[in-house]
Amino acid sequence: MSSSTPLAAKREIFGWSMFDFANQAYTLLIITVIYGDLFTRVIVGDAPDYRLGNLLWSISLAVSYLMVVVANPVCGAVMDYSASRKRFLFCSYLLTVFATAMLYFVEPGWFWPAMLLIIISNFAYAIGEGFIASFLTDLGPRKALGWISGLGWSLGYIGGLIATAFALLFLGEVSSDNYETIRWVGPFAAGFFLLAAIPTFVWLRDRGVKRQLPAGQSMLNMAFLRLNTTWRAMHQFRDLRTLLISIFFAMAGIYIIIAFSFIYGAQVIGWDEQVRVLMFVIVQITAAIGAIGFGFLQSRIGAKVTYIMTLSLWLLAILAIWQTPLIAELCRQWFGVEWQAQYVFLVAGVLAGASLGSSQSAARALVGVLTPLGKSAEFFGFWGMATKLAAVFGMLGLGLMQWAFGLADAIMFCLLLFVLAIISVLPLQEARGSAVADNWREQS
């Protein structure tokens, strides 16, 4: 992209942001809050420690993310060449809606069908994240990407708050006794996504220029040729490579938190239903505030500094999650305050929420800063590949560690990941990277 790119119309920016609003219903209802807990404790139900359920859940997510790793760069190259980003986005959206709605038909004990539907729906949702992100560079100049990305992520958490609050209110608790009601979480999440994303397809423009294929050349072959050309020139984009390495470590930790935070609350903290609901509300509100707040901050202090600040906030959040029981005990000994661990866990939720929205928004915007025009789908395909490869690494890593040591201690794996993310991004020079992106456009 370029610093001279004009700011898009307000309704187009709003339409783009509404896809984040819509797809958060899937992330929160299916992956984080309800279905992940339902899968481990009811559909698999290997009480008391649920290690098999946790492992199968990790495997399902890891397989879906591995599929994205393979498909995303190729799809990105095809979309750039054929100016078909919107069509690809629409297909991923419909597949997510269909597979998510089908979760209704899964019965307790049917963990293989449940795994298959999670793999399909999460693949479609996750690859759609890369497709929608590729439009970011069309929406404004480089200095505006922080607040635009932050707006999208902020609306996403507001959408998630609305969808999940409604689901928790009408669907009730996650339990075998309530299964006939709670199973509606799949169709509800699918319906919310289906309706809320309509503004995206009405107002978002695909500004690409469609090219004609050379005689005897297939689109798939052309995609691989473009990827090969970009890969051979990747040494020019050393700042982007540095960022993608950092994003790999950071997103591995973030995906672990997304997939296991509410499972951790149920299995390790042992929270009550009302605390579970309160945690959800707290995380959504603080994530929305963090995304939009750090988004505007990024336009003033720079994308790299903002990104490092959000990663540092994650370190505090992980330490608070890991030491929640100890913090509760210290409060009792030092201050005479009888706080249950589940209420101290809410403090960790504030830190995690502020970190969650801001770090992902800052990373997405920073990729946009380093991406040349005409290659946005392809470069965001590399971003999607890095984030989903990180998810595979994170899911399998934590799944195996909790199998061996239990979930309470395995969460410390996240702390190491965020330390590595900070160390990896330190050599990045934002100004140099953005200049390379502009020069690449001129050469193209």
Confidence label for 123 from pLDDT (cuts 50, 70 and 90): very high
- 8-203 and 235-438 share one fold: yes
pLDDT of residue 437: 67
Distances (CA, A) of 16 to 8, 22, 132, 152: 11, 10, 7, 7
Name the helix (H) or strand (E) containing 100. helix 85-101
Q: How far apart, in whole angstroms, are the C-alpha atoms of residue 245 and residue 224?
A: 23
More confident residue, 304 or 1: 304
Average pLDDT of span 225-241? 73
Q: Is the pLDDT of residue 202 over 60?
A: yes
Name the helix (H) or strand (E) containing 195. helix 185-196
Neighbours of 211 (CB within 10 A): 11
Mean pLDDT of the chain: 81
Q: Could you read off the pLDDT of 357-391 as tens digits, one per residue?
A: 788 888 888 888 887 766 777 777 777 788 888 87
Contact by Cβ (8 Å): 116, 262 = no
Confidence label for 121 from pLDDT (cuts 50, 70 and 90): very high
Identify the CA nearest to 437 among candidates 243, 301, 296.
Answer: 243
Identify the CA nearest to 128 among candidates 25, 57, 229.
Answer: 25
Q: Which CATH architecture has domain 8-203?
A: Up-down Bundle (1.20)
Residue with tokens 């971003």: 383
Average pLDDT of span 237-260? 84
HSE, CB side, 13 Å, CA atoms: give it for residue 341.
Answer: 16
Q: Where are the beta strands (DSSP E) in 394-438?
A: none
What CATH class does 235-438 carry?
A: mainly alpha
Confidence label for 91 from pLDDT (cuts 50, 70 and 90): very high
- Sign, CA dihedral 375-380-383-384, equals negative
Residue with tokens 């309704």: 11
pLDDT of residue 443: 47
Q: DSSP code of 214?
A: P
Q: Is the pLDDT of residue 442 over 60?
A: no
pLDDT of residue 3: 53
pLDDT of residue 22: 92
Q: What is the dihedral of CA 290, 245, 300, 284, to 10 degrees?
A: -10
Taking the whole predicted model, whether its pTM rises above 0.85 is answered as: no
Distances (CA, A) of 52 to 44, 158, 166, 289: 8, 33, 30, 36
Average pLDDT of span 120-125? 95
Residue with tokens 């590729």: 134
Q: What is the dihedral of CA 413, 414, 416, 421, to 10 degrees?
A: 150
Q: How far apart, in whole angstroms, are the C-alpha atoms of residue 374 and residue 440?
A: 10
Confidence label for 26 from pLDDT (cuts 50, 70 and 90): very high
Neighbours of 218 (CB within 10 A): 9
Domain boundaries of the chain, sorted by first residue: 8-203, 235-438
Q: How far apart, in whole angstroms, are the C-alpha atoms of residue 57 and residue 52?
A: 8
Q: Which of 5-9, 307-311, 436-440 has the highest mean pLDDT?
A: 307-311
Q: How far apart, in whole angstroms, are the C-alpha atoms of residue 189 and residue 32?
A: 12
pLDDT of residue 444: 44
Identify the CA nearest to 145 among candidates 25, 16, 286, 254.
Answer: 16
Q: How far apart, in whole angstroms, are the C-alpha atoms of residue 266 and residue 274?
A: 12
Q: Could you read off the pLDDT of 49-79 as tens digits, one per residue?
A: 777 888 888 889 888 988 988 888 888 888 8
Q: Which of 27-31, 173-177, 294-298 has the highest mean pLDDT?
A: 27-31
- Of all residues in the chain, the percent with pLDDT exceeding 70 is 87
Name the helix (H) or strand (E) containing 217. none
Q: What is the dihedral of CA 344, 347, 349, 354, to 10 degrees?
A: -170
Confidence label for 215 from pLDDT (cuts 50, 70 and 90): low
